[in-house]
Structure 1
C-alpha cells in the first residue's frame, strides 16, 4: 500500500550541537530511523552574533550570511565526526535553523508521526539555572513523541578522569580492577 501524496513521510528529527551528548543522541536517532524505515533529519540551531540584530539590521547582512555558513560547516563537521566514511543506513537530511534550539526542533518536528530525539545533556543545578533545558522545552511543546537520550555511561568516567588530570591526582591502579 502506498502513502498518499499529501501525507508526509515518517521522520526522525534529532538536534545536535557537537558535544558528546548530542552525538550519543544522533547515533540513537539513526538507530530509530533504521528501525522505523524513516528519514533522519539532523538539525543544528544557531543564532547570529549579537542575537537577532544581525538578521534584522540591513547594515550587516554579510554577518548573517557568515554566521549561517559557519553553522553549515559546523553541521558538516558534526556529521563527519558521527559517521565518518560510514553512512547511517538511512536517508539523511542536514538542516541549519536560525533560532533557539528548542523552538527550532519543535518547528521542524511538526507532524504527529515524527519522532523528535534530543540529548538530555549533563545535569547540575548551576547549568540548568544558566541555560534552559532543550529537552524540557521539547517535551512540553512538541506535537510528536519525544525521545530523550541520557549521556553515555562512559561520560561520567571521562569527566572523573578529566578532573583527576586537572587537579593532578595520581591514578590509583586498583580503581582499574573494579
Structure 2
C-alpha cells in the first residue's frame, strides 16, 4: 500500500501461531502500530506435516494442501478474535497466511527497512533453546528491519508451572495462585 504522500505505509509485521506467546506479541504489535500510526500485518506461517522437504518427496493431493491452508487461516482468525474481539485492533489490518517456515516467512514479508517485526521471545529455558528451532532467533539474526522480541506473559509461566504440577500430580496451593493473580 502507498500512503497519500507517495511513500509506502508504515507496517508492523507480527508472527502469530495461536500460542500464548504469539497472542502476547500480537497485542504488543497492535499497540506499536497504533503508536506509529502504521498498518498491522499479522502473519501465520505454516508448513505441511513433515515440512516442505517431505512434501516435495511425497506431494500431497491439492485437496489436503487446501485443507491445511484453510486450517491455518482459521487459526489466524481465531487468534485475531481472541486478542481483539469485535473491537478490532484500532489500525489498518492486513492479515496473511504464508506457506513456509515461520522465521523465513516473517523475514521475507517484513522486507522494508521501515518495517517493525514483532515476534514472541519464546520459552527461555536452556532445554527449549537447545532442542527447538526458534522463529524469533531466526528473525533477530536475519531481518533487515528492527525486531521487537516480546517476552512471554508472566501468566504464561504461571500456567506452565501449574501444568507441570498437575502432570506430576503435585498438590496445588491455590492461595498462592490467588495472591499472585490479585497483585498482578
Give me the TM-score of the superposition, normalised by structure 1.
0.88
In 2, distance between residues paired with 1:170 and 1:58? 48
* Structure 1 range deviating more: 46-55 or 63-72: 46-55
Alignment size in residue pairs: 176
* Greater helix share, structure number: 2
2:133 equivalent to 1:135 = no
In 1, distance between residues paired with 2:161 and 2:35? 34
Show the counterpart of 1:65. Answer: 66
Unmatched 5+ stretches in structure 1: none
| CA RMSD across the alignment | 2.2
Show the counterpart of 2:82. Answer: 81
Show the counterpart of 2:100. Answer: 99
In 2, distance between residues paired with 1:66 and 1:27? 28
2:12–2:117 Cα contact (<8 Å) kept: yes
2:36 equivalent to 1:48 = no
1:49–1:67 Cα contact (<8 Å) kept: no
Deviations for 1:12-56, whole angstroms, at most 9, x for unmatched residues? 000011010000000000000000000000000001234225468
Deviations for 1:103-144, whole angstroms, at most 9, x for unmatched residues? 000000000000000001112222222222211111111111
Shift of the 10–49 alpha-carbon distance from structure 1 to 2, 3 Å rule, reads same
In 1, distance between residues paired with 2:84 and 2:125? 30
Unmatched 5+ stretches in structure 2: none
C-alpha displacement at 1:74, in angstroms? 1.2
Show the counterpart of 1:29. Answer: 29
Deviations for 1:53-111, whole angstroms, at most 9, x for unmatched residues? 54686762222222111111111111111111221101111101000000000000000
List structure 1 runs of 4+ shifted beyond 6 angstroms: 55-59
In 1, distance between residues paired with 2:63 and 2:93? 29
The alignment partner of 2:114 has SS state of coil
Shift of the 64–38 alpha-carbon distance from structure 1 to 2, 3 Å rule, reads same
Show the counterpart of 1:125. Answer: 126
Shift of the 63–153 alpha-carbon distance from structure 1 to 2, 3 Å rule, reads same
